[in-house]
Amino acid sequence: MSEATSPKEQETLVQDTTATPASPPVAPAPVASRGNGLAVLALLVGAAGAAAGGWGLWQLQSVEERDRLHAEQLESIRGQAQTLDQGNQALNTRLQALPSADELESRRRQLAQLQGDQQLLNQRLETVLGASRQDWRLAEAEHLLRLASLRLSALQDINSATALVQASDEILRDQDDPAAFAAREQVARSLEALRATVDPDRTGLFLQLGALREQVAQLNAQAPTFDGEGGVLNELAASNGAEQQWWQRWLETLSQYFRLDFNADRNIRPMLAGQALTQVRLALSLALEQAQWAALHGQTQVYNQALQQARDVLDAHFDLDNPNSRALRTRIDELAERPIEVKAPDLSQTLNAVQAYIESKQSARAQFDDEAQAEQALDVEDARP
């Protein structure tokens, strides 16, 4: 009876037989155990075959996936190659459109000339703008000096004129030009002359005269009185030792309105009342108002005439024994002594010096512009082929 064994078992059996020839023979295994071994062996062989088939299938799928990826990469490379070919064609077209070496040299010269012209134009523009700004500032300095001279001649305003001249000097200083030395010297002289000039307080004087006008509106005439008023009646009543009778009281009241004095040694002014008093107050107020105007404008003659007119009205219509009238007259005399006009310095020489500096600066700039234009024309002639 033959047995189906695997090659491995046969080889093991041969090795055992060769190695131990003297070993006793092994008793044969039972038939049932050999059948189970064959079944297990068959299962192992089937499992190995299934595993080999699965591995082969997986390898086949991996190959197909790599082929698909290679195909996509190949397609992408073809597209990139087409794009590169198109770019090369466009580059060739552009290279063919490029100018020649002579044309490039001609364009380079034109570009260099254009850049030079542009730089010259920028310099010219900066010069013009700077010159215009300087001209404006110098014109402002001249205008400030004119305004200061006008303030001195019209209003005699020392403080305003000093501030204007100081501003003009600052403008000349900002020029930082040695040629402005003569003009600044005249400006400095004018400044020192203005600072040494006494500036009267015209505003304060105006307000003081206004306060006097308010006192005029409250000024009243004082009723004349007589020395020994009621002396006879009082003596009569004292001698009789009795009170005054009705006719005595009536006579005393009537004596307050009129009195006959045969021994008068001075003139007695009549009392002002009603419209007459209003007219006198108005005349005095107008005289003081005229003095106010003269004080503001520095008109000494008009100021003195107005205050003299106010004194005349006050002396003619009001009694100086009245405390209000006497105080007003004293105050008018004090204000009449106040100076309102000053001798302002002359700024004409300073203005002429600044004008001469401006003219010299403009002439120098015009000459420089002519030279620059001539040089530019020569450069253009030299740049032509």
Predicted model pTM: 0.46
How far, in Å, CA of 65 to CA of 68, rounded? 5
Instruction: Quote the pLDDT of residue 154.
Output: 79
How far, in Å, CA of 151 to CA of 23, rounded? 154
Instruction: Quote the pLDDT of residue 69.
Output: 86
- Are the beta carbons of 344 and 198 closer than 8 angstroms? no
Q: Please calculate the CA angle 113-119-121 and round it to the nearest 5 degrees.
A: 100
- Are the beta carbons of 317 and 272 closer than 8 angstroms? yes
- Are the beta carbons of 219 and 325 closer than 8 angstroms? yes
Summarize pLDDT for 243-285 with one digit per residue, the tens: 557 777 777 777 666 655 555 555 555 555 557 778 888 999 9
Instruction: Quote the pLDDT of residue 126.
Output: 59
pLDDT < 50 regions, the chain: 1-24, 26-27, 29-31, 223-233, 236-237, 241-242
What ranges in the chain are assigned the alpha helix state H?
7-19, 31-97, 101-154, 158-175, 181-196, 202-217, 231-240, 246-254, 275-297, 300-317, 323-336, 348-383
How far, in Å, CA of 166 to CA of 29, rounded? 140
Residue 203 structure tokens = 């505003």
Summarize pLDDT for 79-127 with one digit per residue, the tens: 888 888 888 888 778 777 776 777 778 778 877 777 776 776 666 655 6
How far, in Å, CA of 156 to CA of 345, rounded? 10
How far, in Å, CA of 289 to CA of 283, rounded? 10
CATH 1.10.357 fits 110-198+344-383, yes or no: no
Instruction: Quote the pLDDT of residue 34.
Output: 65
Residues 6+ apart with CB under 8 A from 313: 280, 283, 284, 287
Say how many CA atoms lie within 13 Å of 325 toward its Cβ: 18
Domains in the chain: boundaries: 110-198+344-383, 200-221+270-341
CB neighbours (10 Å) of residue 320?
Answer: 13
